[in-house]
Amino acid sequence: MGSMIHRLQRIVQEVNRASDINSALLLITESLTRDLSVEACTIFLTQKDEPDTLVLQAASGLNPEIIGTVRRKLGQGLVGTIAARAEAMNLVDAPAHPKFMHVPDSGETDFPIMLGVPIMAHREVLGVIAVQRSEHVFNEDEEAFLTTLAAQLATSIERAESQGRFSTEQATHVIRGVAGAPGMAIGVALVLNRGVNLESVPNKRTDDIDGELQNFREAVRKVREELTEQAELMRASLPEEECALFIAYAQMLSGGSLIDDTEEGIKDGIWAPSSWRDTVEQHAHVFTRMEDPYLAERANDIRDLGLRVLRKLMLEQSGDIDFPEHTILVGDEVTATDLAETPLDRLSGIVSAHGSSSSHVAILAHALGIPAVMGVPNLPVKQLDGVDLVVDGYNGSAFINPSKSVLTEYRQYLREEAAIEQDLLVLKNQPAITTDKHRVSLLVNSGLMSDYTPSLRSGAEGVGLYRTEIPFQIRDRFPGEEEQYLIYRDVLNTFKGMPVVLRTLDVGGDKPLSYFPIHEANPFLGWRGVRITLDHPEIFVTQVRAMIRANVKVNNLEILLPMISGKAELVECLVLIKRVRAEIEEELGQQIALPRIGAMIEVPSAVYQIEDICALTDFVSIGTNDLTQYLLAVDRNNENVADLFSSMHPAVLKAMRQIVQGAAKSGTPVSVCGELAGDPLGVMALIGMGINSLSMSVGSLLRAKKVIMSFSYHELAELLDQALLISDAAQIRQLYAHKLDSRGLGGLIRAGK
Ligand code: PEP
Ligand code: MG
């Protein structure tokens, strides 16, 4: 078993490192021929433009001239049948099978024993791998091996494919992810160098050979010095053997072929990071191919070393980033800090290989009205820097190198969208009220100062959720009481006379603090929100002190507690808040009102304890992002399950109705502050439920108002009853979308409709 896993890993690594898809596939066929003792191995792949046709892409052991010439429709021949059924076939005598189709001149009839398995990714058949030999039927272990290999390779093939195709053609290329934040943008990709890795180094050339040589030598020198120092330090606490590694690394950088080969490349006009990457890969590759696991491991050492030098090289060059006028941030994982570092007047869109609409960066983008496409599998990040892009945040797609016709179409959409926005502007000073006179309060979610002005301009009636973790995240240490006091006073004053709900620190899960690292196997089920702040009362107390002090003159503060999963946590928080109030009263020598205190309802246990929670709070606020994540057991940031994440899922709607009914018993007000509150269809469902306070990204506010003003509470309540009879999330959305469309408001969920 051990050796099988080892072999698999080696093959997958080789493929991931191959320079293009054809050499990757050839590598697989060669490795398989060797590892499974077969005489022939073939790989057929479906074609992007002809998804129902499989073409022989690589072969070993057969006449190589047939590569590219053998084609099979789905269901045709053995290969076509394997693909059509998405099922493996293990045959003792392939030519005797009724589906067998002879390939003239292939030589395959000499190898009648055949095992073929489909290569599948995201429920789609990408191709078929088949192995053949003349003796010995394939046993179960071999079948398991090939199936496992095919599953692992599917991702590699997908990636190699999208990158390989992309680099050879300059044609428009569509990428699909999930809708992260609505809107559309036309701009130029900017790939930030953060989290540099060897794979993401772009291929570039340079005219400044001397400058590049100097940069390279400087980077190498620095890493060498660091390594020597580290080795010295480690001697104190590590066995000699481990320290030796650092010395060995340092020696590799003192001369020899790693350095010489890179310098040769630079002298030929290759940009230093590209040349270094090529050299590192070549050297590592030599080791990877060795069967001896010890030597194969040395390949990782070389890459590790490669990365250290690369970081020095790349980071030093990224001092001043030149942001294009219409910047589209592109990355493996675009983060909240990336966004915070980009000048907002230049930021037009975001495309991130990982994440979903409820990732923090997407929520921020939404708040800022910036379209985002998240969770794009196999995004060819390294090749996108400086490339033209069209981002469609409504349906989660983007166009690389958009053609004239795509550009024309999107310019038209953008004009129509601007027209809708223009129409909506007249609503900004009108109250949000249904046609049968139910008044709804519309507030904004905030966390960045940059959204205060747009919020006030859109007629927001206060801040329904201020995510205090955002100011914490964009710093490099915990902000002190005074620093926090200024931040909170600023937002309380800006929205004077309106409620401002400051949520206590909600870090953990997907919201890391660089200066407070937490390593857990299940971060979403771990140390998050009040669980952290109750364990660190000093953080909690400092924060609440800053909030209450900031509120003294303005008196519009409300405090919201995140991740409450039971009554005990709430009681503990209340004790601390009251203690802080008493302290401040003593310090000031005056009485101060206790702010209204609310709990987030975002953990399923809180739904079932709603009455107990309401008995202790002044209001509750439903966090639909986490509530959906925890109820449906769907990670809000995982693109593999993004399709399953739906806050309109019947289970989520029913839970919310239960919250509303439970809170009604004590007359506790319920508001909603998750993303659903800003989704036009979500607004319809929530109003129908009897909720009359919604907090959302500022970009959604006027759309939500338009929706509220277009329906009666009565009809939305009826529609909800109808929706709750449906057991499927997508059908529920459809029901609401039809209703919206029938009012002529389809453009609110997609401009240009
Ligand atoms: C939520 O979970 O719905 C919510 C509003 O909080 P956050 O997205 O910040 O976790
Ligand atoms: Mg939450």
- Give all strands (DSSP E) within 98-221, no chain letters: 113-121, 124-133, 173-176, 178-181, 184-191
CA count, 13 A, side-chain hemisphere, 543 = 24
Pairing of strands 124-133, 40-46: antiparallel
Q: In this model, does residue 167 exceed pLDDT 60?
A: no
Whole-number Cα distances in Å, 707 to 679, 687, 711: 10, 10, 7
Give the residue, by CA position, lying nearest to ligand 1 atom 3.
623
The residue whose CB lies within 8 Å of the most ligand 1 atoms, and thus the one to mutate among 448, 467, 646, is 467
What CA–CA distance (Å, rounded) separates 558 from 441?
A: 15
469 lines ligand 1 (CB under 6 A): no
Task: Identify the pLDDT of residue 735.
Answer: 97
Q: Where in the sequence numbering do the catalytic residues fall?
A: 360, 673
Question: Is 636 near ligand 1, meaning CB less than 6 Å away?
Answer: no
Q: Between residues 291 and 335, which one has the greater pLDDT?
A: 335
Distance 92 CA to ligand 1 centre (A): 57
Report residue 107's pLDDT band, with 50, 70 and 90 as the boundaries. confident
Residue 625 near ligand 1, beta carbon < 6 Å: yes
Q: Which of 625, 671, 697 has the most ligand 1 atoms within 8 A of CB, as the residue to mutate? A: 625
CATH code for residues 173-192+321-418:
3.50.30.10
Q: 387 is written with which tokens?
A: 């490339």
User: Of all protein residues, whose CA lies closest to atom 8 belonging to ligand 1?
Assistant: 625
Residue type for position 167: S
Give the predicted TM-score (pTM) of the model. Answer: 0.74
Q: What is the pLDDT of residue 105?
A: 78
Evaluate if residue 234 carries a pLDDT over 90. no
Antiparallel, parallel or unpaired: β 596-601 and 388-392: unpaired
Whole-angstrom Cα distance, residue 411 to residue 60? 49
pLDDT, tens only, 599-626: 999 999 999 999 999 999 999 999 999 9
**What SS3 state is found at 43?**
strand
Instruction: Please give the Cα distance from 578 to 592 (Å, whole number).
Output: 11
Same fold, 2-168 and 173-192+321-418: no
For residue 358, the ligand 1 atom closest to its alpha carbon is: 8
How is the chain split into domains, by residue range? 2-168, 173-192+321-418, 209-320, 426-748
Q: pLDDT digits over 645-687, tens only?
A: 999 999 999 999 999 999 999 999 999 999 999 999 999 999 9
Q: Please tell me the distance between residue 664's alpha carbon and the centre of ligand 1 in angstroms.
A: 23
pLDDT tens column, 368-395: 789 999 999 888 887 888 899 999 998 8
Find, among 440, 442, 489, the residue nearest to 463 by Cα.
442
Closest among 539, 610, 599, 543 to 569, alpha carbons compared: 599
Average pLDDT over residues 101-119: 86
For 537, the token pair is 């009362």
**Who wins on pLDDT, 549 or 219?**
549
Question: Ligand 1: which atom is nearest the Cα of residue 621?
Answer: 5
Helices 2-17 and 140-168: crossing angle, nearest 10°?
10
Tell me: pLDDT of 1 over 60: no
Query: Average pLDDT in the 151-156 region?
Result: 81
What average pLDDT does range 81-85 have in this prediction? Answer: 95
- Nearest ligand to the CA of 511 is 1
C-alpha span between 649 and 628 (Å, rounded) = 8
Name the CATH superfamily for 209-320.
Answer: PtsI, HPr-binding domain (1.10.274.10)
Q: What is the pLDDT of residue 193?
A: 64
Q: What would the mean pLDDT of 24-45 be, rounded to a whole number?
A: 86
The ligand 1 atom at the shortest distance from the C-alpha of residue 602 is 2
Q: Beta partners for 113?
A: 133
pLDDT score of 237 more than 70: no
**Class of CATH domain 2-168:** alpha beta
Identify which has the larger pLDDT, 154 or 692.
692
Distance 559 CA to ligand 2 centre (A): 15
pLDDT band at 160 (very low <50, low <70, confident <90, very high): low
Report the chain's mean pLDDT, rounded to a whole number: 88
C-alpha to C-alpha distance for 340 and 548, rounded to whole angstroms: 27
Class of domain 426-748: alpha beta
Inter-CA distances, 334 with 369, 381, 674, Å: 16, 11, 21
3-state helix/strand/coil string of 417-478: HHHHHHHHHCCCCCCEECCCCCEEEEEEEECCHHHHHHHHHCCCCCEEEEECHHHHHCCCCC
- The lowest-confidence range among 98-102, 231-235, 266-270 is 231-235
509 touches ligand 1 (CB under 6 Å): no
User: Which residues are in the CB-under-5-Å shell of ion ligand 2?
Assistant: 602, 623, 626
pLDDT tens digit sequence for 345-360: 899 999 999 888 777 7
pLDDT tens per residue across span 514-558: 788 889 999 999 999 999 999 999 999 999 999 999 999 999 999
Q: How far is the CA of 623 from the centre of ligand 2 (A)?
A: 5
Confidence of residue 94 (pLDDT cuts 50, 70, 90): very high
Please enumerate in sequence order all residues whose Cβ is within 8 A of that of 551, keeping only pairs 6 or more positions apart, or say none. Answer: 488, 492, 557, 592, 595
For residue 675, give the ligand 1 atom closest to its CA.
Answer: 3
Q: Ligand 1 pocket, 624 CB below 6 A?
A: yes
Query: Whole-angstrom Cα distance, residue 408 to residue 439?
Result: 41
3-state SS, residue 119: strand
| Residue 674 CB less than 6 A away from ligand 1 | yes
Residue 169, pLDDT above cutoff 50: no
Ligand nearest to the CA of 563: 2
In the prediction, which pLDDT does 574 show?
98
* Higher-scoring residue by pLDDT: 14, 738: 738
Q: Which helix (H) or strand (E) holds 707?
A: helix 701-710
Query: Model confidence at 170, in pLDDT bands (50, 70, 90)?
Result: low
The per-residue pLDDT for 413 is 85
Contact in structure between 554 and 496 (CB atoms under 8 Å)? yes
